[in-house]
Structure 1
Amino acid sequence: MLSTPGYDPVAVVGPGAVGLALAARLAGQGHPVTLCGRPGTAPVTVVTSSDEHGTRTVDVEWHSEPARVHPFRWVVVATKLHQKDAARAWLERLVDSDTLVVVAQNGIEHRELVAPHATHRQVVPTLVQFNAERHGRDRVGLRQDGPGLVIGGDAPGRRARPLLDRTGLGVHTVADFTTAAWRKLMVNAVANPLTALTCRRVEVFGDPSVRNLAATMLAEVAAVGRAEGARLPAEAVDEALAWIDTRPAGAGSSMLADRLAGRRLEYDGLLGVVVRRARTHALTAPVCAMVLALVAALDTAPSATAAAHDTFKDQEQQWHK
């Protein structure tokens, strides 16, 4: 694959909607892009991306065997949160002391994912603000309003900024990444499970009973976030609900899409992490814990359901102390 002079190869782990979108944008700018996918899956050697400006198709490389790859200077991790083992198998081979790892995932545990394979100075936690919808194995549609990526203003973030700028998605740098991550988690930890449980899109939050439930959950998430150091004002709950209200009619969530497609659900790194972090701060999050147990019961993996059940029982014991 030919590259533009000065544009280093990039490995993208996780050829889902976000991975395809980032791969397409970087390849379109001249970076040789290698997509890293599951063993035994059909290869993706071209990616077609569409947005309000039109449609473009680019070439990419494909690898499905971690043992056959070498370290890259740039690695983008775009797997779902429950695909930690798969991501780490790739990181073990793709990362060396010169690698910078951009972790473009939901949740707040970006560095924890990479920690066994990269130091703090090599990791760039990245919040994905654009909407990406996958259409088949090699097609993705993008929609956004405002900057599509949020990173911290630390040294790793400054190093990654030129690469991420080339995606054309818009990059916003924040001094307080912890607060930014918890603000996004407030929405994701509530909107994703409730849409998945009800099999309804954002209009479900217009139902008074569901809106009250969401507000209670949001307040619990905000309390945990503050204990974690996030600067969330008293009006954070209203702001999160207002953001949900601005979503276009018919908008869904990634967890709803996964449920409808029969895929594993990304609940542990969203709602599960809230309940776990609450416990570390001796806080209770009873409604979040109950919703976590319900959404875990939708999952087809018995071990995941059992883990969520254990978490719910531990939380329940705390309520009665």
Structure 2
Amino acid sequence: MLSTPGRDPVAVVGPGAVGLALAARLAGQGHPVTLCGRPGTAPVSAVTSSDEHGMRTVDVEWRSEPARVHLFRWVVVATKLHQGDAARAWLERLVDSDTLVVVAQNGIEHRELVAPHVPRHQVVPALVHFNAERHDRDRVEIRQDGPGLVIGDDGPGRRARPLLDRTGLGVRIVTDFTTAAWRKLMVNAVANPLTALTCRRVEVFADPSVRNLAVTMLAEVAAVGRAEGARLPAEAVEDVLAWIDARPAGAGSSMLADRLAGRRLEYDGLLGAVVRRARTHALAAPVCTAVLALVAALDTAPSTRAAAHDTFKNQEQQ
């Protein structure tokens, strides 16, 4: 039986924007936090976070070698979806039968990411609804509107809630996590690829041709989600477009940011997951499949990244 979190040490795997945000909030509440990052990268010994209440710096411990960590009762996995191998290398050292693992990622395959190192009853899939933007390696800006984390109303979720409540980001616990995950995936599987491919922010969805493309993709995603058991109403496509339209001017996406920074793109766990599940249910998803192929080709062509950066800068100057 897991104890209440108290001020137990917490390991955070993945020092990206989400990982830094969660590490900063937990360390700020007195939890000793160990950040687990890639070998050879510059260490992070303190994290500075800013939000509407101001700025705060907290100390953390840094580890870049799995062999140098010990077992933890609480682990947060906040790596990108395509960094699953790196996450699993850490989990081999961090997790035992008493560990609860919060997987704070995009997509719908949270439990698959950490298998076989973590049994299902020790995994808490968490949908991230707060916005975190990393500045340098040790600074993160946090913005949110409403609950920042969504978890399922099951045994692992209820055990993890006291720890997640301490982040101050707001936790919503839902009985139908499948529907919540597919609602978020509808946004991520369409907005991320289309902004990355066009090198434009959310204003691109005002373009009639792009909007029509988005409508078709969203309808395909919704059909797959329903086949997976998600309760998505007929107006789900319009709801997602309305949400995108309401984003602040200049809002982008994580995939666009990764493309402009020359990083690998997180497409396989988003649009790739949709296409895989469509095939499982013998559903046609031709437009999502075509866009997935384009994004995958983009990700394997590093020479296009500098051109993407130049294109984006030119657009900003016009």
| TM-score normalised according to structure 2 size | 0.93
Please give the alpha-carbon distance, in whole angstroms, between the structure 1 residues aligned to 2:91 and 2:242: 38
Please give the alpha-carbon distance, in whole angstroms, between the structure 1 residues aligned to 2:78 and 2:147: 18
| Letter matched to residue 135 of structure 2 | H
Matched, 1:131 2:101: no
| Letter matched to residue 33 of structure 1 | V
Paired position in structure 1 for 2:104: 104
Paired position in structure 1 for 2:21: 21
Residues 100-148 of structure 1, C-alpha deviation per residue, up to 9 Å, x if partnerless? 0000000000011112111111000000000000000000001110000
Paired position in structure 2 for 1:290: 290
**Contact 2:12–2:75 (Cα < 8 Å) also in 1:** yes
Matched, 1:230 2:207: no
Residues 140-199 of structure 1, C-alpha deviation per residue, up to 9 Å, x if partnerless? 001110000000000100000000000000000000000000000000000000000000
Please give the alpha-carbon distance, in whole angstroms, between the structure 2 residues aligned to 1:213 and 1:39: 41
Please give the alpha-carbon distance, in whole angstroms, between the structure 1 residues aligned to 2:153 and 2:274: 25
Partner-residue secondary structure (3-state), 2:118: coil
Please give the alpha-carbon distance, in whole angstroms, between the structure 2 residues aligned to 1:282 and 1:300: 28
Aligned-residue offset at 1:301: 7.1
Residues 200-241 of structure 1, C-alpha deviation per residue, up to 9 Å, x if partnerless? 000000111101100100000000000001000111000111
Partner-residue secondary structure (3-state), 2:57: strand
Paired position in structure 1 for 2:122: 122
Can you give the 5+ residue segments of structure 2 that lack an aligned partner in the other structure?
303-318
Matched, 1:78 2:59: no
Identity %: 90
Paired position in structure 2 for 1:194: 194
Aligned-residue offset at 1:6: 3.0
Partner-residue secondary structure (3-state), 1:151: strand
Paired position in structure 2 for 1:30: 30
| Letter matched to residue 280 of structure 1 | T
| TM-score normalised according to structure 1 size | 0.92
Aligned-residue offset at 1:68: 1.2
Partner-residue secondary structure (3-state), 1:146: coil
Aligned-residue offset at 1:298: 1.0
Paired position in structure 1 for 2:311: none
| Letter matched to residue 183 of structure 2 | R
Structure 1 residue ranges, 4+ long, deviating more than 4 angstroms after superposition: none
Please give the alpha-carbon distance, in whole angstroms, between the structure 2 residues aligned to 1:6 and 1:243: 37
Paired position in structure 2 for 1:40: 40
**Contact 2:84–2:114 (Cα < 8 Å) also in 1:** no
Please give the alpha-carbon distance, in whole angstroms, between the structure 1 residues aligned to 2:69 and 2:141: 29
Please give the alpha-carbon distance, in whole angstroms, between the structure 2 residues aligned to 1:160 and 1:54: 27
Paired position in structure 2 for 1:61: 61
Residues 64-84 of structure 1, C-alpha deviation per residue, up to 9 Å, x if partnerless? 000111110000000000001
| Letter matched to residue 180 of structure 2 | A
Please give the alpha-carbon distance, in whole angstroms, between the structure 1 residues aligned to 2:292 and 2:118: 31
RMSD of the alignment, in Å?
A: 1.0
Paired position in structure 1 for 2:248: 248
Please give the alpha-carbon distance, in whole angstroms, between the structure 2 residues aligned to 1:301 and 1:248: 31
